[in-house]
């Protein structure tokens, strides 16, 4: 997670990252970063927690390797006849980004591939289906390729940001093809696109408040294939330490009425030259 100018490394808990806030990370040769993201929700007596691990390494000022791997834990009711808990792995994403900028503008364009570690135990795995469905719900279907079981994802992400003295405007977008490797959810190939805009005001580089508006379109699902969400957020930076919080609110079907809460804590540093 590297937000703002300069070479940075980060260890983060939650969702306030360059990708999630529409920030194109600055081009830095010695940059590396690590991140832990946590999202949570309580819907109809079911708790869901979804941590995600991220890492990136700058090969040069232009090129960066990155990886992303999520997990989900879901629990329904209390242990007993009708209660259950489920812990599942998400898909592992490996990608390569090209980055650049001019003046106040920063941009990135990348390509990635997911390893199909998310898996259902046969066609009849209701708890696994619920867990992966909950994990994708926590993000408003954003980055769905991380939580699509028994699928390989071919991903093309992009982003740009303009940062002024007291404001930040960002755009994040992506497209993906989800190709089945097992027949637990059928044999059809899914295509999706996503876009997010972010607007924020900040004070002296220490406090920032803003909102995101995101939309995801699953083109191969004519019903319930469009999801929009809004997410207000705050961020506090104290030297190398950054704290943040975000509330994601889907505003239409199929997830309208659900919500997720996300917290962030990060530390930043740099490699020795």
Mean pLDDT by 10 residues, the chain (273 residues): 37 38 44 84 86 88 93 78 82 97 95 96 81 92 95 97 94 97 81 97 90 95 86 90 90 86 77 53
- Give me the pLDDT at residue 96, please: 98
* Other beta carbons within 10 Å of 125: 17
- Give me the pLDDT at residue 244, please: 87
At residue 3, the 3 state secondary structure works out as: coil
Classify burial at 45, counting beta carbons within 10 Å of its beta carbon; exposed 0-12, middle 13-18, buried 19 or more: exposed
Q: Tell me 220's DSSP state.
A: T
- Give me the pLDDT at residue 156, please: 98
Give the tens place of pLDDT for each residue, 143-190: 999 999 999 999 999 999 999 989 999 999 999 999 999 877 677 899
Residue 195 pairs in a beta bridge with 173, 215
- Pair 191, 172: CB distance under 8 Å: no
The Cα–Cα gap between 4 and 70 comes to 25
CATH superfamily of 9-269: monomeric porin ompg (2.40.160.40)
């Amino acid at each position: 997670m590297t937000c703002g100018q300069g070479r940075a490394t980060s260890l983060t808990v939650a969702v306030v990252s360059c990708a999630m806030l529409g920030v194109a990370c600055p081009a830095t040769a010695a940059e590396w970063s690590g991140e832990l993201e946590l999202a949570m929700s309580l819907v109809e007596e079911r708790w869901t927690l979804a941590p995600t691990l991220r890492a990136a390494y700058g090969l040069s000022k232009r090129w960066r390797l990155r990886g992303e791997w999520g997990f989900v834990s879901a629990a329904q009711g209390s242990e007993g006849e009708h209660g259950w808990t489920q812990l599942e792995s998400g898909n592992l994403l490996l990608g390569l980004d090209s980055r650049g900028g001019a003046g106040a503008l920063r941009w990135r364009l990348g390509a990635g591939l997911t390893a199909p570690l998310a898996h259902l135990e046969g066609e009849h795995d209701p708890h696994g289906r619920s867990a992966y469905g909950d994990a994708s719900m926590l993000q408003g279907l954003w980055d769905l390729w991380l939580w699509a079981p028994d699928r390989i994802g071919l991903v093309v992400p992009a982003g740009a940001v303009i940062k002024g003295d007291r404001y930040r405007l960002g755009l994040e977008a992506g497209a993906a093809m989800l190709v089945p490797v097992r027949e637990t959810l059928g044999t059809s190939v899914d295509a999706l696109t996503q876009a997010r805009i972010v607007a924020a005001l900040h004070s002296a580089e220490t406090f920032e408040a803003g909102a995101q508006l995101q939309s995801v379109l699953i083109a191969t699902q004519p019903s319930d294939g469009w999801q929009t969400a809004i997410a207000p957020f705050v961020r506090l930076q104290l030297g190398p330490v950054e704290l943040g919080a975000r509330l994601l609110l889907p505003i239409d079907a199929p997830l309208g009425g659900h919500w997720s809460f996300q917290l962030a804590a990060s530390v930043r540093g740099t490699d020795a030259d």
